[in-house]
């Protein structure tokens, strides 16, 4: 959808007169924003959406988009790069989410240690939160595109023949969370 098309739809919901009055612009300027730009014919005008787009492209700084999203009560997440990563990426991708979450918790814990959170600390928390959302969105998009499906299918196909040995917690003498069948000396059971 082109920016002028979006503005045309918006102006069907919100009065162009009201927009002109609140922005201190002429009504004709507001209507020009909703027309396709054609410099030869003199129609259309570079609308604010096109200017924002140009500003983002020339600065290559997504903080502009993040700021707009925050003003609108939301947040911005980059479209993930999901160019069919190998299914073996599933475990590292899962670990990356867990690590990012742990990093966020570490920043929160450090900030809250003195029972107050400063502006700088809140910015650090926001930065870690944004990183976690981005990493998680990439993972979810890969899942939705089926990029990890072959790994799952391979595991399902080989699960019938897989034999697992129970994990033993040597310190407690437990096997997979239950008491071991033999008790070691000195352990209470």
Final residue in a domain of this structure, among 38, 71, 104 = 71
Residues 58, 91 within the same domain: no
Instruction: Please enumerate in sequence order all residues whose Cβ is within 8 A of that of 46, keeping only pairs 6 or more positions apart, or say none.
Output: 37
On whether residue 10 sits in a domain, the answer given is yes
- For residue 171, being part of any structural domain is answered with no
pLDDT over 60 (residue 63): yes
Residues 128 and 153 both lie in one domain: yes
Domain that residue 8 falls in: 3-71
Q: Is residue 79 part of a domain?
A: no
Whether residue 172 is contained in a domain is answered as no
Q: Give 167's contacts (C-beta < 8 A, 6+ positions apart).
A: 175, 176
Number of domains in the chain: 2
The pLDDT tens digits of the residues spanning 11-47 come to 999 999 999 999 999 999 999 999 987 666 555 578 9
Q: How do the residues of the chain divide into helix, strand and coil, expressed in percent and rounded to 5?
A: 60, 5, 40
**Tens digit of each residue's pLDDT (9 = 90 or more) over 81-140:** 655 556 667 788 888 889 999 999 999 999 999 999 999 999 999 889 988 888 888 888
Average pLDDT, the chain: 77
Check whether residue 61 and residue 110 sit in a common domain: no
If asked whether residues 98 and 153 sit together in one domain, one would say yes
Instruction: Clarify whether residues 152 and 99 are in a common domain.
Output: yes
Rounded to two decimals, the pTM is 0.49
pLDDT band at 76 (very low <50, low <70, confident <90, very high): confident
107 and 151, same structural domain?
yes
């Amino acid at each position: 959808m082109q920016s002028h098309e979006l503005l045309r739809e918006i102006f069907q919901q919100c009065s162009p007169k009201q927009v002109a009055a609140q922005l201190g612009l002429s009504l004709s300027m507001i209507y020009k924003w909703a027309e396709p730009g054609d410099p030869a014919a003199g129609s259309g005008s570079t609308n604010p959406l096109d200017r924002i787009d140009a500003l983002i492209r020339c600065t290559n700084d997504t903080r502009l988009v993040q700021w707009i999203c925050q003003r609108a009560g939301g947040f911005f997440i980059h479209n993930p790069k999901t160019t069919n990563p190998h299914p073996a990426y599933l475990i590292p991708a899962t670990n990356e989410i867990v690590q990012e979450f742990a990093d966020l918790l570490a920043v929160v814990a450090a900030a809250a240690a003195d029972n107050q959170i400063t502006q700088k600390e809140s910015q650090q928390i926001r930065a870690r939160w944004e990183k976690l959302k981005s990493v998680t969105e990439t993972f979810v998009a890969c899942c939705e595109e089926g990029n990890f499906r072959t790994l799952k299918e391979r595991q399902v196909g080989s699960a019938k023949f897989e034999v697992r040995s129970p994990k033993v917690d040597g310190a407690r003498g437990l096997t997979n969370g239950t008491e071991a069948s033999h008790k070691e000396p000195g352990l209470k059971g």
